[in-house]
Amino acid sequence: MATLMHWVLGLISDDILPFTTYYPAVLFAALVGGMGPAIFAAIAGGLIGWWAFMTPHFIFALTLGQQINLVTYAFACGLIIWGADHYRKLLKQLEDEEKFRELTVDELAHRLKNKLATIHSIISFQLRDDPQIRDAILSRLTALTATDDLIMATQGEGARLRDILSTELAPYDVSRVSREGSDVLLPPKLALIMALLVHELATNAAKYGALSSSVGKLSIRWLFADARLDIEWRESGGPTVIAPTHRGFGTRLLSRALEQFGGYVNANFATTGLICKLSLVLQESSPSIAADVTSKPKAFAAN
């Protein structure tokens, strides 16, 4: 191909140097095939260029200038081959490190699942006489396990808010749940906390709120802008809501979990259904947070 290209260029101009088109051929051979094919390409290109494109053509004759051209060509090809071979070795090293990292992550994930299974068994046995507490603890562990799987799927980068919602709300009638917001990637620590928060809200909705009624509906909207994430959880159509007389585990969890992110929670127990608003601050420059600009939710006003 390099020879054919040289011949075509020679029809256009007589100023084409003998080895011009063979340098990229040597580079391509070095990157794709390695040092052996690159050396072969360099030698073949040098011989063809000397024989076909140096005057007098089609004989192996050398003047002082042609000798200099051949030495320069050999030196340049040596640099190309050395650089390309070094790049191939570096790339191979990076690929090996990436495979080792993936293997390590998979092994850690496998061990974590085994430990969680053991913890499940211990809790089930120790709390066998108190099924209510047992089921509450196991359901929270299940929520964390599901989010861990989402984090592992992104190689430890985090989990997307939409995926967390889908996982936690999957056991319920999703046709009564509406979601609106950009696809925000939460860092691992926040993703686990968000999974617990959503789990508590979904559990309460299933027991006492909109999801406990066949006609109840749930609307979840969120907005990520100016390093702040605002989430609105709005229930409607369920039984009449009565504000609790004391703060349960879920309420304390919501408040304490968001404090470390400079956030807050505002729960309004309206008669039409719970309206819970969460707000937290994220570092906009953080590489583990990304918003999909293809979806632009409208801002919602606080009640």
Secondary structure, 3-state, 6-62: HHHHHHHCCCCCCCCCHHHHHHHHHHHHCHHHHHHHHHHHHHHHHHHHCCCCCCCCC
pTM: 0.54
Residue 258 — φ and ψ, nearest 5°? -85, -15
Q: Which pLDDT tens digit goes with each residue over 62-119?
A: 788 888 888 999 999 999 999 999 999 999 888 888 887 777 666 666 676 777 777 7
- Other Cβ atoms closer than 10 A to 209: 24
Give the count of domains, the chain: 2
Tell me if 117 is assigned to some domain: no
Give the per-residue pLDDT at 25. Answer: 92
Give the per-residue pLDDT at 233. Answer: 93
Q: With a cut of 50, which residues of the chain have pLDDT below it?
A: 284-303
Q: Does residue 132 share a domain with residue 274?
A: yes
Write the single-letter amino acid at 15: D
Q: Does residue 204 share a domain with residue 64?
A: no
Tell me if 150 is assigned to some domain: yes
Give the per-residue pLDDT at 299. Answer: 44
Q: Does residue 235 share a domain with residue 155?
A: yes
Residue ranges making up the domain that contains 33: 2-92
Give the per-residue pLDDT at 291. Answer: 41
Residue 284 — φ and ψ, nearest 5°? -65, -30
Cβ atoms 200, 250 nearer than 8 A? yes
Q: Does residue 140 share a domain with residue 74?
A: no
Q: Does residue 230 share a domain with residue 154?
A: yes
Q: Does residue 131 share a domain with residue 71?
A: no
Tell me if 46 is assigned to some domain: yes
Pair type for strands 217-225 and 264-270: unpaired
Q: Does residue 250 share a domain with residue 183?
A: yes
Q: Does residue 192 share a domain with residue 259?
A: yes
Tell me if 45 is assigned to some domain: yes
Q: Does residue 59 share a domain with residue 205?
A: no
Give the per-residue pLDDT at 82. Answer: 93
Give the per-residue pLDDT at 149. Answer: 74
Tell me if 163 is assigned to some domain: yes
Question: What is the CATH number for 207?
Answer: 3.30.565.10
Final residue in a domain of this structure, among 92, 118, 135 = 92
Measured distance CA(105)–CA(188) in Å, rounded: 14
> Residue 81 corresponds to which tokens in the numbers above?
């081959």
